[in-house]
Amino acid sequence: MFKSGFIGIVGRPNVGKSTLLNRIVGEKIAITTRKPQTTRNRIMGIRNLTAGQMIFMDTPGIHRATTPLNRRMVSEAKETFRTVDVILLMVEAPAGVHREDPPIIASLRETRLPAILAINKADLVKKQEVLPLIDRYRQLHAFAALVPLSAVTGEGVAPLLDEILKILPAGQPFFPEDAMTDRSERFIAAEIIREKIILLTHKEIPYATAVVVDVFKEEADRPLIRIQATIHVEKPSQKGILIGRKGAMLKEIGSRARLDMERFFASRIFLELFVRVQKDWTHDEKMLKEFGYSNQ
C-alpha cells in the first residue's frame, strides 16, 4: 500500500530543523547557520521512497515574537499545524526539556494530529542521558514515537522515516518523483545569498536584510545563469557594513554565494549584487509582503 502525506517540522529556533530537512531530501534546499531565526519561510522538501512519498515542511522557529517580521515567521510555523498529516517536533538532547518546549507541545494537543518527537544532537550526550529525557517528554505528550537522532551525521534518520511512514495515510504521490521542493529557483538563489550574509556579518545585520532576486536568466546557448539581486537593509550604516571597505564584504558575499549556486544549479553563475536602504522594512507590512514574508 503506497502512502503519501505532509509532515510539518516544528520547534523552537536553532534546533536543527533545516539541517534535518536537507539530510532527508539529500540536497541543501534550506539554508542553515548557527544563528537563530535563519529560516523565515516555510520550505517544502520531498523524499520519495518505494513505499511512499513524504512531503516535509520546514518552518521558522517558534519563539516570542516582538516585531511584525517575527510575528509573521511564528504565524507561518503555527499555520503548518492546519495543513499537515503529521507533526514532527524537534528538540535538542543537550538542552533537555527547554522552557519553550512545553508551550509548543500544548499547541500539539489542540491539533489532535499524530506527533513524533525527534531528539536532535543525541550524539552529543551520553546514551544513558537520553532515556530519562525520553521519559520526561513522554509525560508531556502522547507522542506516536520518540526518536533520538543526529541531523548532522544522519544517525537515527532512517528509523525516523520508518516511524513517519507507519502513520502516513494511504494515497498517491502529490509530486513527480524527481521533485525536491516546491520553491522556485529565484527563492533558492535569494536564500543562498542571505545565508552568506548571516555567516559573514554580525549583530543586527543578519536580521535587518532581505534579498530579492531581480533577474534570473538562463543563457540559451551555454550553461550560464545570470542573476541580479538586491540586498535590502534598514539603515545607511548597515549598507556601509554590507558593502565593506572598497566593496570587500559585498564581493566576499557574492563569491561564496556564487560557488554554492553553481553546485546547486549545476551551471556557471554570473552574479551581481546591489544594496539598497529600505527604512524600517521589518516593521512595514507593505514591504514585508513585497519581500515575500506575507502569510502563505
CA 22-27-30 angle, 5° bins: 50
Report residue 171: phi and psi, to 5°: 170, 170
Taking each helix axis from N to C end, the angle separating 248-265 and 185-200, rounded to the nearest 10 degrees, works out to 140
Fold match flag (3-167 vs 185-290): no
CA 139-144-150 angle, 5° bins: 90
Q: Where are the domains of the chain?
A: 3-167, 185-290
In terms of Cα–Cα distance, which of 239, 211, 194, 163 is closest to 37?
A: 194
pTM value is 0.87
Q: What is the pLDDT along the chain (296 residues), one digit of tens a residue?
A: 899 999 999 998 889 999 999 999 999 999 888 887 787 788 899 999 999 999 999 887 776 666 787 777 777 777 777 789 999 999 999 998 998 888 889 888 888 899 999 999 999 999 889 999 999 999 999 999 999 999 999 999 999 999 999 999 999 999 999 899 989 999 999 999 999 999 999 988 999 999 999 999 999 888 999 999 999 999 999 999 999 999 999 999 999 999 999 999 999 999 999 999 999 999 888 998 888 886 54
CATH 3.40.50.300 fits 3-167, yes or no: yes
Contact between 221 and 265 under an 8 Å Cβ cutoff? The reply is: no
How is domain 185-290 classified at the CATH fold level?
Answer: GMP Synthetase; Chain A, domain 3 (3.30.300)
Report residue 12: phi and psi, to 5°: -75, 170
The total of other beta-carbon atoms located within 10 Å of residue 236's CB is 9
Distance CA(102)–CA(176), nearest Å, equals 37
Q: Which amino acid type is present at position 161?
A: L
